[in-house]
Structure 1
Amino acid sequence: MQLFHRRRDRFELFDRMDSPALNLTFNLDLPDVRPWCKEQGLAPFHVLLCAVLRSTLAVENFRYRILDGEVFRIDRLTPSFTVINEHNDLNFAQFAWTDDLREFVARGQAAREEASAMTELNGVFRTMTPRAAREQVFITCIPWLDFTSIQHPTANLGTPDIPSIAWGKFRDVTSGRLQLPFSVQAHHGFVDGFHVHQLAQQIAVELTTFMQA
């Protein structure tokens, strides 16, 4: 928490605002992991999901949360993401964390199949304690659209402490590189534009590490 204490005055400034959320949407440039995923038999979405969530843990400022008015630091994440079911309605998939990439992808795919087979809304989040619920990053993927902005929903405009991340359609840019629209929402008391930049850089590092392992 040493890093947070250094910026407590910034937190107090933004936390007093009606909506302290920072929202940034930008073109994220990444190594093209798709050929490697095909060789390895791994789904690109789930590989990117793993890289994104690893990166939010690696950038300290994305670990801070608020509970009962107090700031604390999470030490783990419960992966979750949106899916669509057979009626094209949204649902939520969630699974237990693992550091092993292949197991992470397998668990993510199983969670996707389970949630997408449901007609009703997956209510697993309702069983979580308030603290456990904050051990998440809200993830959504809109692979059909090359979007330029997005408004993430928040239960309470005054406490956007759980980061929301979205990405859209992959597009080729140069040999070995790809771009995609990428959106980050976080509490400005914790996260500045520079930390979003760090997150973007770290995602590229994680993907490169996967391919070199």
Structure 2
Amino acid sequence: MDKFEQRRDRFALFDSMDSPALNLCFTLTLPDFRPWCRAQGLAPFHVLLCATLRAVLKIENFCYRIVDGEVIRIERLNPSFTVTNANDDLNFAMFAWSDDLHTFVARSRAAGAEAAGMTALNTQYAALSPRAAKEQVFVTCIPWLDFTSIQHPTATLAQPDIPSLAWGRFRDAPNGALTLPFSVQAHHGFVDGLHIHRLATQITAELTTILQLGSE
């Protein structure tokens, strides 16, 4: 937490505002990992989810949370994301983390299928303790749209300490790349534009590592 102490005055500044949320949408360029996913029988969304959450854990500023008025640093994540069910209603999928990509994807797909098959809202998250509830990043995918902005709901405007991430439609790009709209919402007391840039860079690095290891 020494790194946080260096910016505690910035945290105090933004945390005193009605809403300290920083929301930034941008075009994220990634290596086109879809052919590799097809060859491996892995769904691209779940591979990108794994790479993204691995990246989050490596950028310290995205791991700060507020518990009982105190800032803490989480060391692990409970992966979760949104799905739609047969009624075209939103639901929440949640599953246990795994460091192994194939296990992560299998658990993610199973959780997504379970949540999509439910008509009632999945309230699995409500069973988490207040501390465990902070070990999340809110993730949603809007694959139909090239959106340019998004506003995520927060439980209270004054405490958007759990980051919210969203991405949209994949587009082919030159030189074996793809692009997609990507949104990051986080507490500005923890995260600046520089940290969002680092997160984007780290997601690319995580995907590149997945592709390299998978080719060995």
Shared fold by TM > 0.5? yes
Q: Report 1:5-154 matches (<5 A).
A: 5-154=5-154
Instruction: Give the aligned partner of residue 183 of structure 1.
Output: 183
Question: Partners of 1:80 and 1:165 in 2: how far apart?
Answer: 11
Superposed displacement of residue 175, structure 1: 3.0
Superposed displacement of residue 2, structure 1: 1.0
Unaligned runs of 5+ in 1: none
TM-score (norm 1): 0.99
TM-score (norm 2): 0.98
Superposed displacement of residue 37, structure 1: 0.5
Question: Partners of 2:92 and 2:167 in 1: how far apart?
Answer: 16
Q: Deviations over 1:91-143 (max 9, x none)?
A: 00000000000000000000001000000000101111111011000000000
SS in 2 for 1:46: helix
* Equivalent AA in structure 2 for residue 35 of structure 1: P
Unaligned runs of 5+ in 2: none
* Equivalent AA in structure 2 for residue 94 of structure 1: M
SS in 2 for 1:66: strand
Instruction: Give the aligned partner of residue 160 of structure 1.
Output: 160
Query: Structure 1 vs Structure 2: percent identity of aligned residues?
Result: 69
Count of residues paired in the alignment: 213
1:171 partnered with 2:171: yes
Instruction: Give the aligned partner of residue 3 of structure 1.
Output: 3
Question: Partners of 2:32 and 2:204 in 1: how far apart?
Answer: 10
Question: Partners of 2:125 and 2:100 in 1: how far apart?
Answer: 24
Question: Partners of 1:173 and 1:209 in 2: how far apart?
Answer: 20
Superposed displacement of residue 176, structure 1: 0.9
Superposed displacement of residue 212, structure 1: 0.3
Misfit runs of 4+, over 4 Å: none
Q: Deviations over 1:128-175 (max 9, x none)?
A: 111101100000000000100000000100000000000000001113
1:207 partnered with 2:207: yes
* Equivalent AA in structure 2 for residue 160 of structure 1: P
